[in-house]
Structure 1
Amino acid sequence: MANIHPVVDAKVLAVCEALNKLPTKITPKVFFMRFLVSTYSQLPYLRGCWATKKGINSTMDLASALRDEINKTALGREAWEAFILQEAIQIASKQEPPRGNFPKGAFHSSTTVANHFFTAEEQQVHDNQLTKYHMPFIYGLLMGILKAGTPTDDSAQEEERPPVDPTETPDDSSTSPEEMDGIAYELAHNPQDRYNHRAKRIVTTICSMVGFARNRRANALQLHNSVRFFACGISERVQEYMNYLGLCSSRSTGMSALNTLAKGNIKMLKTVMAINKEIPMAASICIDNIDMERRVHQSSVGHRSHTFRGTWGYIHLPNKKLLATLDCSQLTLDAYHEAIKQVPSMEIEPMMFLPTKAEQEVELAVWKSQIASVLHKYLATPLDKKTALPTEPPQVEQISHEAPDLHMLKLMDASDNSAEGMGQVFHNLLQQTGLTSEEFFSQLQPMDGDLGRSRISIAYKPSEPPVHDSSNCGAWQHLEALGFPSDKAIQKKDFTLMVNQMERVFEAMSNANNVPEERVQLPTAQWNAIVEECYETYFTPKARSNAASKDSPKLSNTLLQLHDFSTVVEAKRAMKAGDMAES
């Protein structure tokens, strides 16, 4: 309704004058109060549509107008905020997760919890139920508060960074020394999307903490965190503090859940390892050594740090889709013997070991994609990216995105890499799988192993000391300069980190001029021609032969180094793209 309406204003004044006449003078406030609360005669009928679909919008407009009038003074604002606070408390106190056992309630018992409870899909289901159905008011209130502000931190960081092309793929998680541990969060390009994702996670966690504080049996997030904290080695003191804040359940609850999961896993292992004649391929058992140290902060008699040497592993079940594509008649022992008999008469031709024309084209595309990637990252961008040479390697044999069917084995105690230690491992495997000795060893087929390498006699001989070179300080010198702490050891099986560090050291040692801060834009034809020329000049076998024929070996050595190091980059980019054929 408009602010100036003479006819309506005149009628309002007439009503006010009528209210101020004898025999009973009343104020407009008394009139509105009696109109809303009185049960006399037809008054309830006259206000009957105020809270219905027909009249709720105008009713809320009336409440908004009353709010604006009250907030014109400091005293009014204080009274209004106190009123809204009490209303919010009443609404929020009525919303809580339902009581009882899941799925009717929100309680998850540590004695009945299963593996699927800890999956990301199950956690998303719990979060949706909590925020949409159980506590929507608190969730909406806190999200509104966070959305009312601007993501100042993200905006400031985004202003300091160079502009990023949204069509480009983000860098991997190892682009900074802080993220080289292999643990990082995937971030979106848009700072607003990052802010919204973070806000939702914060508000959902707060709702769970409030629900747990009111009813400690609403423990979906807390039970999940309790098991996760215990498995990650969080100290008991820290976990007690997290439990006090409502972020996790008690440590005893987490241990009880782990015991329940262990019991269920024992049954599952015996089920999946049972002999099934309908499955032509047995499960794969993958094991490896592990050293676990129990560290004691304050040593005393009988309480000292101790290292336990054992074996860990898992069972990998064959993919059902893969089994459906196999010919079961070719997986028998007779078929294997028949194939072995044909080996002496088999003619081996050199062409069997040479790449085909299609494979050569793929290798050529991989080389050019590496050159295009460097050109695009440091020097220039094409005007038309659709017709430019791709910066990503071509797809050859994409790895399936489906998660493998793995079942963890219980940690096993083994003395060392000896016959006795291996016997202890097999004994533990028999106990966990529930198979007899005949059933187990009749299907056992060792595929790969290095348990005996420490028993090789040459391993006990002293190694020849390297030639002393004062200029050879090792890769740690360069990694230290790049921000990676030299006192932080690399795990021997962290191949991803090793490849990343090899690439960093190689780039840091390359003799090149300073790269310009701004990339220039080139016509797509010229951009493609630069990639083609670079490949023909430096990366073909002919280029390496021509360089080797020159008197100075510098160019030849550089090309050989580029050729060898390109395999490292190729393997990294292929595995990042999920392509096992190229790696």
Structure 2
Amino acid sequence: MSATSAAIRDTLEICQHLKDINMPIKEFVMLFLTGKHIELATRQRFWATSTGYESTLRLVECIRDTFEDSADGQGWWEDFIQSEAIRILVQNNERLSHSSTGHFQSAHILMGMLQNNDEPPETDVADSDTCAGPDEPISVPTDTFEAQLLERGGINYVPNSGGRDQVSRRWHHLAAAICAQLLFAHNRRHNGLQLHNAIRFLPCGVSERVNDYLHKLGLTSSRRTAIQALKTLSGHAAEDVKAVMSLERSPELSPFLCIDNLDIQEKVHAVSITDCSMMFHGTWGYVQLPSKALLDSLEKSELNLGAYQQAVKDVSTMQINPSMFLPSHNDKQHYYHVMTSQFAEVMEEYVGFVSDKEGAISTKPPVLEQILPEIPTVFMLQLMDESDNSAEGIAQVLESIQRQTGLTPSEFASRVQPMDGDLATIQNFNSLRDLQHPSSYPEHSFDNIIFQLGGAHTLWNIAQAILTEHLGDPSNEINLGVWQSLEALGIPHNEVIQKKDFTLMLHQIEQVHKATLLHCIRVVMKTHKEKLVLKPQNKPTKMTTAEWNSTVGKWTIPTEEWNSIIEECYTKFCSPQARRDVAKDAAKDVSKDVSKDATKDSSKDAAKEKSPRLHNVLVCIHNFSTIIEAKNAMKAGDIGRLMNFWKMWAVMSQAIKSLKHYSAYLPSGRKDQFMAKDDFMEHQNYWLKHFFNGGGIGTQIDRLKKLFSMNIFLLQSMFHSLQIDCGKKTIHQNRKKIMNLQSLQMFC
């Protein structure tokens, strides 16, 4: 206390002395800081150094507090700070304007800026059919093709209710955009924002006329600059492909290649001899680096061309037994868990709540062989020409791939090259290899290439064949095919089987399968003759917590009863014995009509004719369950589960006429968000077609080949960033369609 009093006393004495010599305190401080005398400079030399920064700033803060004691003084202080901020910005801009580049972003040196733009926005994940509430609007695209793209990707945009932070970010974004416009108007070399907008407006469908107007307003660069930027990026992407495919990086096993066909119509309005409408036939693909953890778990000495060719030679002497394709005891047990999990999922969605989830039958089957959910490293290839769907066409594709890798034909044939493709591509490749065989030149024999069927195409083709077998005859009203189930659920039967949307076909198969399982559950619970009432899905907004808990209690089923219902459903409708019992009981009824000399097969046929409905239902449940579980296993990345069903399909494909080609090309194996490699390729095809249709580029296929195809990931991120910059939030959804009460009442 005494020290403080002494400091105040000394301060008052200094003030009195300044008053005696008639010098104001402010004038003394100004002369002390600005005086040119050597002694003054010596005394204040530490004020603006690391030694005195903190104490000097404390002095400035004290002056600030003095100004802010009054409203008028606070206004003076804010005006001063604003003028200082303007002075600093002007100084920085003048310094950049006098430099060689300034704010200028060249289209030739664009890689760093755009690579830093790849940070994903903050997103949410939801497991419902729609993430937004009843009062929360969802951004629905007006373009049906764009809506289908977002549907395939499971993406929606909803307003980001970020409160004050969101408002602050919006004003900050607006201020930054205005400043960027003014800088661009003052000096066209300050074009960071404009170049970014020019590139993302190109795939988003902004016409060149609108782009020119926005360029005049200072919001975007010219279209020519955007094209030049994409050319530069394509050049870097081509060099990346050559780097990852080099022999120095992987001398024995090449990175995986996945290719798929792409057809786009070039439509010309004013037809002439040189310009006419035509269909562009192309092939596109990507390079995927194998997982390092997977490679480390394998024997390196077996991953070479010599070991592969020796294994191919050993196939001719391999003894193949039917037992290799028959399910083992473990496989049968796993199928039991698959079916019980599907029944449990339907009960959880529509029937009621289980009292104890820990002791209840799980809604997911046991994991057999799970792969790591790592994001793969992918490099897109350039879109390639393919004359037609033939051996000559696939030869053109392979030659183009070899050129893009930067390898010579002999180098490309010197190591094992795994490739993924659809059934037609593999047939064309094998035809080409047969035409080239025998050949003493490795680059002509193609013996180093391993083609395997894509998982998604295998699922789509087999699902389509199974659905066709069960569809029935819609022209016959008494026909008991699946078409009646589809119509009962409100799905037009003539729109189910289509080549353009396999995802929708799988979705509708799952709806029929779940509705059938629900009916089986109601039969076991002896409620199938009562009016169907579904359990409440979510708590209504106006319902209190106590009322909701009471409602849940009414719909709760004890765990033991829950499990017994599921097990009885499996025994009665899904077990092998159930199908045998149907045939046996029906055979008794028709035994009088079957002659003593009738064969066993004719007895079975008569049984099917006598009791066709139940027999069809049991077979349909079995076949549709393989489709649903194969799809779930692919999404979960469980190779073991998937291989179990592919073994079943390997046998089934011999009996289904529309799968005759799969008898020669049997499938071989490949967290809940996995996507098959060929499905991923199909997704990129959709994006490329969307950019072609909406970009206003007419018949300029060269832009697709040279600019868009290798920069497809960048263009997708630019496409999504428009919604993010508008303040929307990205919602990634696991689409689980819950059928409504009216559809199920019509079905049941």
TM-score, with length taken from structure 1? 0.63
Q: Which residue of 2 aligns with 1:568?
A: 627
Q: Which residue of 2 aligns with 1:547?
A: 582
Question: Contact 1:479 / 1:505 at 8 angstroms: preserved in 2?
Answer: no
> SS of the counterpart of 1:313?
strand
1:45-79 C-alpha deviation (Å, 9 max, x unpaired): xxx9998778988986x568999xxxxxxxxxxxx
Given the superposition, is the C-alpha separation of residues 263 and 42 from structure 1 closer, same or farther in structure 2, using an over 3 Å criterion?
Answer: closer
- Give the one of 114, 117, 120 matched to 1:117: 114
Cα distance in structure 2, aligned partners of 1:113 and 1:559: 60
Identity of paired residues, percent? 34
Cα distance in structure 2, aligned partners of 1:347 and 1:571: 28
- The count of corresponding residues between Structure 1 and Structure 2 is 474
Calculate the aligned-residue CA RMSD, in Å. Answer: 5.4
For residues 5-154 of structure 1, the aligned pairs below 5 Å read: 39=26, 108-114=105-111, 117-118=114-115, 121-122=118-119
Given the superposition, is the C-alpha separation of residues 486 and 550 from structure 1 closer, same or farther in structure 2, using an over 3 Å criterion?
Answer: closer
> SS of the counterpart of 1:285?
strand
1:452-508 C-alpha deviation (Å, 9 max, x unpaired): 86999xxxxxxxxx978265999799699869999999654x543331233245567
1:144-179 C-alpha deviation (Å, 9 max, x unpaired): xxxxxxxxx9675269xxxxxxxxxxxxxxxxx978
Cα distance in structure 1, aligned partners of 2:487 and 2:175: 44
Q: How far off is 1:378 after superposition?
A: 1.1
Deviates more, 1:436-445 or 1:467-476: 467-476
Cα distance in structure 1, aligned partners of 2:83 and 2:508: 55
1:12-65 C-alpha deviation (Å, 9 max, x unpaired): xxxxxxxxxxxxxxxxxxxxxxxxx9947899xxxx9998778988986x5689
Cα distance in structure 1, aligned partners of 2:249 and 2:322: 40
Cα distance in structure 2, aligned partners of 1:326 and 1:547: 48
Given the superposition, is the C-alpha separation of residues 467 and 50 from structure 1 closer, same or farther in structure 2, using an over 3 Å criterion?
Answer: closer
Q: Which residue of 1 aligns with 2:507?
A: 500
Q: How far off is 1:375 after superposition?
A: 0.8
Given the superposition, is the C-alpha separation of residues 180 and 424 from structure 1 closer, same or farther in structure 2, using an over 3 Å criterion?
Answer: closer
For residues 219-368 of structure 1, the aligned pairs below 5 Å read: 223-231=195-203, 233-240=205-212, 249-276=221-248, 279-296=251-268, 304-336=276-308, 339=311, 352-356=324-328, 358-368=330-340
Q: Which residue of 2 aligns with 1:20?
A: none
- Name structure 2 gaps, 5 residues minimum: 1-23, 31-55, 123-130, 138-146, 432-471, 520-527, 538-554, 587-610, 643-748
Does 2:545 correspond to 1:518? no
> SS of the counterpart of 1:212?
helix
Q: Which residue of 2 aligns with 1:404?
A: 376
For residues 353-502 of structure 1, the aligned pairs below 5 Å read: 353-356=325-328, 358-443=330-415, 450-451=424-425, 469=475, 492=500, 495-502=502-509
Cα distance in structure 2, aligned partners of 1:386 and 1:230: 53
Cα distance in structure 2, aligned partners of 1:313 and 1:156: 41
Given the superposition, is the C-alpha separation of residues 290 and 158 from structure 1 closer, same or farther in structure 2, using an over 3 Å criterion?
Answer: closer
Q: How far off is 1:247 after superposition?
A: 6.3
- Give the one of 152, 172, 185 matched to 2:155: 185
> SS of the counterpart of 1:450?
helix
- Name structure 1 gaps, 5 residues minimum: 1-36, 68-79, 128-152, 160-176, 457-465
1:86-123 C-alpha deviation (Å, 9 max, x unpaired): 99899799779x8769xx98754321122883476447
Given the superposition, is the C-alpha separation of residues 500 and 210 from structure 1 closer, same or farther in structure 2, using an over 3 Å criterion?
Answer: farther
- Give the one of 616, 619, 636 matched to 1:577: 636
Q: How far off is 1:85 after superposition?
A: 11
> SS of the counterpart of 2:366?
coil
1:258-308 C-alpha deviation (Å, 9 max, x unpaired): 100121123223333332386321233333322223344666786554432
Given the superposition, is the C-alpha separation of residues 430 and 178 from structure 1 closer, same or farther in structure 2, using an over 3 Å criterion?
Answer: closer
Q: Which residue of 2 aligns with 1:558?
A: 617
Cα distance in structure 2, aligned partners of 1:543 and 1:261: 61
Question: Contact 1:273 / 1:283 at 8 angstroms: preserved in 2?
Answer: yes
Given the superposition, is the C-alpha separation of residues 468 and 381 from structure 1 closer, same or farther in structure 2, using an over 3 Å criterion?
Answer: closer
Cα distance in structure 1, aligned partners of 2:348 and 2:366: 17
Aligned AA for 2:585?
Answer: K
> SS of the counterpart of 2:152?
coil
TM-score, with length taken from structure 2? 0.50
Given the superposition, is the C-alpha separation of residues 518 and 194 from structure 1 closer, same or farther in structure 2, using an over 3 Å criterion?
Answer: farther
Cα distance in structure 1, aligned partners of 2:84 and 2:623: 70
Given the superposition, is the C-alpha separation of residues 514 and 218 from structure 1 closer, same or farther in structure 2, using an over 3 Å criterion?
Answer: farther
Aligned AA for 2:107?
Answer: S
Bigger relative contact order, structure 1 or 2 (CA pairs below 8 A, ≥6 apart)? 2
- Greater fraction helix: 2
1:212-239 C-alpha deviation (Å, 9 max, x unpaired): 3233466666544543443455533454
Given the superposition, is the C-alpha separation of residues 367 and 225 from structure 1 closer, same or farther in structure 2, using an over 3 Å criterion?
Answer: farther
Given the superposition, is the C-alpha separation of residues 324 and 298 from structure 1 closer, same or farther in structure 2, using an over 3 Å criterion?
Answer: same
Given the superposition, is the C-alpha separation of residues 481 and 560 from structure 1 closer, same or farther in structure 2, using an over 3 Å criterion?
Answer: closer
Aligned AA for 2:510?
Answer: E
Question: Contact 1:417 / 1:452 at 8 angstroms: preserved in 2?
Answer: no
Deviates more, 1:226-235 or 1:238-247: 238-247
Question: Contact 1:294 / 1:307 at 8 angstroms: preserved in 2?
Answer: yes
Q: How far off is 1:399 after superposition?
A: 3.5
Q: Which residue of 2 aligns with 1:11?
A: none
> SS of the counterpart of 2:281?
strand
Question: Contact 1:315 / 1:409 at 8 angstroms: preserved in 2?
Answer: yes
Q: How far off is 1:206 after superposition?
A: 3.7
Cα distance in structure 2, aligned partners of 1:107 and 1:499: 51
Given the superposition, is the C-alpha separation of residues 410 and 187 from structure 1 closer, same or farther in structure 2, using an over 3 Å criterion?
Answer: closer
Question: Contact 1:314 / 1:407 at 8 angstroms: preserved in 2?
Answer: yes
Given the superposition, is the C-alpha separation of residues 179 and 377 from structure 1 closer, same or farther in structure 2, using an over 3 Å criterion?
Answer: farther
Aligned AA for 2:295?
Answer: L
Aligned AA for 2:475?
Answer: D
1:185-243 C-alpha deviation (Å, 9 max, x unpaired): 2679xx98688998788667545533432334666665445434434555334544665
Aligned AA for 2:504?
Answer: L
> SS of the counterpart of 1:257?
helix
Given the superposition, is the C-alpha separation of residues 297 and 543 from structure 1 closer, same or farther in structure 2, using an over 3 Å criterion?
Answer: same
Question: Contact 1:281 / 1:318 at 8 angstroms: preserved in 2?
Answer: no
